[in-house]
């Protein structure tokens, strides 16, 4: 078994990819998160609205929400040689009704439409071709003088405003192979341009890479030791595409994610509480506006002084949270309520450590700092829906709050409803409610005293419907209600 491996569950309908390092889950990608994925898709769009004050425009690309493009992402802006182009109006670069070729760089989340760019990219394992990029860059992982040699090759092969980004995998390729790949990508772009001639907008021109292809490429770039896959067709395809990588076919009957203990680790990502090795724990709550994290000492009391215990727990919590943000795919504003640290130097140490951890995150994360109330603020770019929002849905009973009316409160609500009917001519009331509420009503003679005050018989029957604390089923005679209660049992 590899130390760091990419585990691919592709034998069943929903595709999943995990990267494990020494059996611990390091990355997880679910096809449900990428359902109807449009990142990388190229559209022939129509400008529907220009926003001069925002230096941006909305473009109809045929989806439910219009795409958003900033002025700096327009080819016309990038190619402008006007030294004062920053002061020029948006109308100098784009107009309403104009048709433009755009690519999706970020999917829409919530009420926000997808983010677009006019700087189209075509990717392969070894390079990225940008027809309007106007620069040549080489991966920093490639050492000199090789890095400079590849840059010089790119400059020689570049025509006009073209651009290239050479990836680490280019080291395994010959110059002839790279030139062949560039010509292939150039022809692909020329074909797209011909397609748009006479094409009605909006329209999809080209689909981006599929889920499996994209994630396998990303995993290989992370320096994995090998790939294990449970689908034979995909196994053969991967062996052909990546002949220099170690790829195994999993033949076991047990689900591949269960066999490698990935399933259990995914289930833990759906829990609010994450226990720390010291005995402390963190509570992670996702809300519509932000993610809120609370740090607690829990069972950890420490062997030394209280200050050291609090700092040690907070440092451990910071490390664990940096992992949880990546595994849960948390994005947006994140507020962390660390255990109170009265000493400023302790807060500084935790903040410095959190920044160091976030630098290792492949998703852009910005640690803003502590507020006056001691809350650490940070933001993490939203690149996909979180694991929690992908795999779960709001509870129909509590509507996603995680709470419902307690038995005592429900009992008091029932009391008020019965009291409102104290002047009614009917002699009995039938109420359906939860079993715990019935026990609360009957405790300490509460129900009997209520019946005596309103001079009515109250029939309480248990209900499995937790969407309502209780339901008033009927007012009537004892005989009528007894018959209906008997029939309902």
pLDDT one-digit tens code per residue, 102-139: 999 887 776 788 999 999 999 887 889 999 988 899 98
Does the pLDDT at position 413 exceed 90?
yes
The whole-chain average pLDDT of the chain stands at 90
Rounded to an integer, the average pLDDT of 79-105 is 92
Give percent of the chain above pLDDT 90.
Answer: 62
pLDDT for residue 110 = 67
- Check if the beta carbon of residue 291 is closer than 8 Å to that of residue 310: no
Pick from 297, 221, 242, 310: which is nearest to 4 by CA? 221
Using CA atoms, how far apart are residues 52 and 93, in angstroms rounded to an integer? 11
Secondary structure (H, E, C), the chain: CCCEEEEEECCCCCCEEEEEECCEEEEEEEHHHHCCCCCCCEEEEEEEEEEHHHCEEEEECCCCCCEEEEHHHCHHHHCCCCCCHHHCCHHHCCCCCCEEEEEEEECCCCCCCCEEECCCCEECCCEEEECCCCCEEECCCCCCCHHHHHHHHHHHHCCCCCEEEECHHHHHCCHHHHHHHHHHHHHHHHHHHHHHCCCCCCEEEECCCCHHHHHHHHHHHCCCCEEEECCHHHHHHHHHHCCCCCEEECCCCCCHHHHCCHHHHHHHCCCCEEECCCCCEEEEEECCCEEEEEEECCCCCCCCCHHHHHHHHHHHHHHHHHHHHHHHCCCEEEEEECCCCCCHHHHHHHHHHHHHHHCCCCCCEEEEEECCCCEEEEEECCCCCCHHHHHCCCCCCCCCCCCCCCHHHHHHHHHHHHHHCCCCCCCEEEEEECHHHHHHHHHHHHHHHHHHHHCCEEEEEECCCCCCCEEEEEEECHHHHHHHHHHHC
Using CA atoms, how far apart are residues 149 and 172, in angstroms rounded to an integer? 14
Using CA atoms, how far apart are residues 94 and 75, in angstroms rounded to an integer? 10
Name the band, by pLDDT with cuts 50, 70 and 90, for residue 269: very high
Does the pLDDT at position 301 exceed 70?
no
Residue 147's Cβ-count burial label (10 Å; 0-12, 13-18, 19+) is middle
Does the pLDDT at position 304 exceed 80?
no
Using CA atoms, how far apart are residues 368 and 355, in angstroms rounded to an integer? 9
Using CA atoms, how far apart are residues 451 and 414, in angstroms rounded to an integer? 12
Angle between helices 435-442 and 446-454 (to 10 degrees): 70
Using CA atoms, how far apart are residues 401 and 423, in angstroms rounded to an integer? 37
**440-488 pLDDT tens trace:** 999 999 999 999 999 999 999 999 878 788 999 999 999 999 999 888 7
Say how many residues make up the chain.
489
Q: Cis peptide leading into 202, omega within 30 of 0? A: yes
pLDDT for residue 218 = 80
Which range among 9-23, 35-49, 262-276, 370-384 shows the weakest confidence by mean pLDDT? 35-49
**Which residues share a beta bridge with 337?**
294, 375
**Whole-prediction pTM value?**
0.68
Tokens in use for 361?
């995150």
Does the pLDDT at position 174 exceed 90?
no
**208-227 pLDDT tens trace:** 777 888 788 888 877 899 99
Does the pLDDT at position 348 exceed 90?
yes
Could you give the domains of the chain?
A: 4-36+210-265 (3.30.420.60), 43-206 (2.40.50.140), 269-391 (3.30.110), 407-488 (3.40.1260.20)
Tokens in use for 43?
């559209």
Name the band, by pLDDT with cuts 50, 70 and 90, for residue 274: very high
Name the band, by pLDDT with cuts 50, 70 and 90, for residue 39: confident
- CA–CA distances in Å: residue 32 to residues 16, 119, 180, 286, 387: 9, 28, 36, 19, 9
């Amino acid at each position: 078994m590899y130390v760091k491996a990419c585990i691919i569950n592709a034998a069943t309908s929903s595709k999943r990819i995990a990267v494990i390092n020494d059996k611990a889950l390091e990355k997880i990608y679910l096809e449900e998160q990428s359902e109807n994925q449009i990142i990388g898709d190229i559209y022939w769009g129509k400008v529907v609205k220009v926003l001069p004050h925002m230096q941006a425009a909305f473009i109809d690309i045929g989806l439910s929400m219009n795409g958003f493009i900033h002025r700096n992402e327009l080819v016309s802006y990038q190619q402008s040689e006007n030294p004062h182009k920053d002061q020029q109006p948006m109308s100098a670069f784009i107009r309403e009704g104009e048709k433009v070729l755009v690519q999706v760089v970020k999917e829409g989340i919530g009420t926000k439409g997808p983010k677009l760019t006019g700087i189209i990219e075509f990717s392969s394992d070894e390079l990225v071709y940008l027809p309007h990029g106007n620069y040549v860059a080489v991966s920093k992982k490639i050492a000199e003088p090789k890095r400079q040699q590849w840059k010089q090759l790119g400059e020689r092969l570049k025509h006009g405003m073209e651009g290239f980004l050479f990836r680490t995998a280019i080291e395994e390729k010959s110059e002839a192979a790279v030139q062949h790949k560039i010509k292939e990508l150039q022809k692909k772009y020329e074909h797209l341009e011909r397609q748009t001639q006479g094409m009605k907008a909006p329209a999809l021109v080209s689909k981006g890479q599929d889920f499996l292809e994209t994630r396998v490429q990303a995993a290989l770039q992370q320096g994995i030791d090998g790939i294990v896959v449970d689908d034979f067709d995909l196994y053969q395809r991967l062996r052909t595409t990546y002949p220099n990588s170690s790829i195994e076919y999993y033949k076991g009957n047990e689900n591949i994610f269960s066999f490698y203990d990935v399933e259990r680790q995914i289930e833990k990502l759906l829990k609010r509480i994450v226990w720390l090795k010291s005995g402390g724990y963190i509570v992670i709550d996702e809300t519509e506006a932000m993610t809120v994290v609370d740090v607690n000492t829990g069972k950890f009391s420490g062997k030394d002084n209280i200050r050291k215990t609090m700092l040690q727990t907070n440092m451990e919590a910071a490390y664990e949270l940096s992992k949880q943000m990546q595994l849960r795919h948390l994005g947006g504003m994140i507020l962390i309520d660390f255990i109170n640290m009265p000493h400023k130097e302790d807060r500084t140490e935790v903040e410095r450590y959190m920044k160091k951890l976030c630098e290792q995150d492949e998703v852009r994360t910005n640690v803003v700092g502590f507020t006056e109330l001691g809350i650490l603020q940070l933001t993490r770019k939203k690149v996909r829906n979180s694991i929690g929002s992908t795999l779960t849905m709001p509870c129909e009973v509590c509507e996603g709050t995680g709470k419902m009316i307690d038995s005592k409160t429900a009992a008091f609500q029932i009391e008020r409803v019965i009291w409102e009917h104290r002047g009614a001519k009917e002699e009995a009331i039938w109420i359906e409610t939860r079993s715990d509420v019935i026990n609360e009503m009957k405790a300490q003679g509460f129900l009997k005293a209520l019946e005596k005050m309103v001079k009515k018989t109250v029939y309480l029957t248990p209900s499995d419907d937790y969407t309502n604390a209780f339901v008033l089923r009927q007012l009537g005679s004892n005989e009528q209600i007894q018959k209906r209660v008997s029939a309902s049992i």
